[in-house]
Structure 1
Amino acid sequence: MRVASLAILFAAAIAVASSANAADVAAGKAKAELCAACHGENGISQTENIPSLAGQPDQFLQWQLVFFRAGSRKNEQMQPIVEEITNEDIRNLGAYFASLTPFKGGKDDNPDLSEKGKQAAAGRRCASCHGDSYAGTKAVARLAGQREEYLVKALHDYKAGQRVGGGVAAMADVAYHMSDEEITALAHYLAHL
């Protein structure tokens, strides 16, 4: 209930604030210097289990920062950072990372596994939320080109009920029924798009 109330308040605040103050991409870029240590130069992560942020939808990024700041999404490295950012910082960071060119999946070293992942994506109807190209939309994450091991971790976290925020009910329900093999194949497929 608390997360739902926070979500409604955040959505209202964003709607009011966005009409009064447009996001400042340059200010977001300056603030994102702190993010580069983990999330990589230009939002392309080179660190295991740390997601790339480049090209993620603006609203998705803003929601995740709010969930971290509210404590409903937990991460030891993120907690001290989000405690120091303002709503304006959140708007600016969302706009900045959304403006960056996302990583295009690298060379696929296992096309058979990708084919299994493609079948899993179709069977689990991933495109119904994440879009046909898996680029995400509005408050739904971009999956295409994301770090493979991060996708595996995220799906296992949803499956175990350890990750909340956003479409947690849908993601928890989808991931709960996935086998480890299916998670591995799906992550491989998406990472190489």
Structure 2
Amino acid sequence: MSVAFTAASPAADLEAAKKKAEICAGCHGENGISQMENVPSLAGQPDQFLQWQLVFFRAGSRKSEQMQPIVEQIDNEDIRNLGAYFASLTPPKAPPDDNPDLSKKGAQAAVGRRCANCHGDSFAGTNAVARIAGQREEYLLKALHDYKTGVRSGGGMAAMADVAYPLSEEEITALAHYLSHF
């Protein structure tokens, strides 16, 4: 009997997460693909990465006026379920590149900053490291600025601060453009 229950649990968990994620759609978009400025798409993000971000928000080490009231209402099981749910969704497709020259500069900055070492060669993320390929460009700009200035903490903060701090404004712009179109 417990074998049957165990086999059914993942589907039940994803269904519970889908219902719980309805509140997320207001900002993070239908199927986890954001249409809102400075709000990341969650679809296709690595499960562990999503879980850690929710933990950081809930603990207050990562701050957001919009997220705070939501994370106060979720427990550890919700966090596990939401991580698995959003990870199971198809990530957003990168838009057509409207500035290949800027992307070329961004590609050079990515190689120079070792982005693929943590985010993977396809920038799809792994384990607790974010998927940055195809992420919203203005969100990537915001995230890089937040890491550079120390506004954002949690997770790979030390690695990201080390990478972002020396970036020039031109490199940040090029990198965000390149990754959003990757």
TM-score normalised by structure 2 residue count:
0.93
Distance, in Å, in 1 between the alignment partners of 2:14 and 2:181 is 28
What SS does structure 1 have at the residue aligned with 2:110? helix
- CA deviation after TM superposition for structure 1 residue 22, in Å: 5.2
**Percent identical residues:** 80
Matches within 5 A, 1:1-193: 24-193=13-182
Distance, in Å, in 1 between the alignment partners of 2:111 and 2:10 is 37
TM-score normalised by structure 1 residue count:
0.88
Distance, in Å, in 1 between the alignment partners of 2:73 and 2:64 is 15
Deviation string, structure 1 residues 116-160 (Cα, Å, up to 9, x no partner): 000000000100000000000000000000000000000000000
Residue ranges of structure 1 left out of the alignment (5+ in a row): 1-20
What SS does structure 2 have at the residue aligned with 1:159? helix
Q: How many residues align?
A: 173
Distance, in Å, in 2 between the alignment partners of 1:83 and 1:173 is 31
Deviation string, structure 1 residues 80-130 (Cα, Å, up to 9, x no partner): 000000101001100000000001110100000000000000000100000
- CA deviation after TM superposition for structure 1 residue 25, in Å: 1.2
Distance, in Å, in 2 between the alignment partners of 1:76 and 1:126 is 29
Distance, in Å, in 1 between the alignment partners of 2:133 and 2:150 is 23
Q: After the TM superposition, which parts of structure 1 deviate over 3 Å for at least 4 consecutive aligned residues?
A: none
Distance, in Å, in 1 between the alignment partners of 2:154 and 2:175 is 21
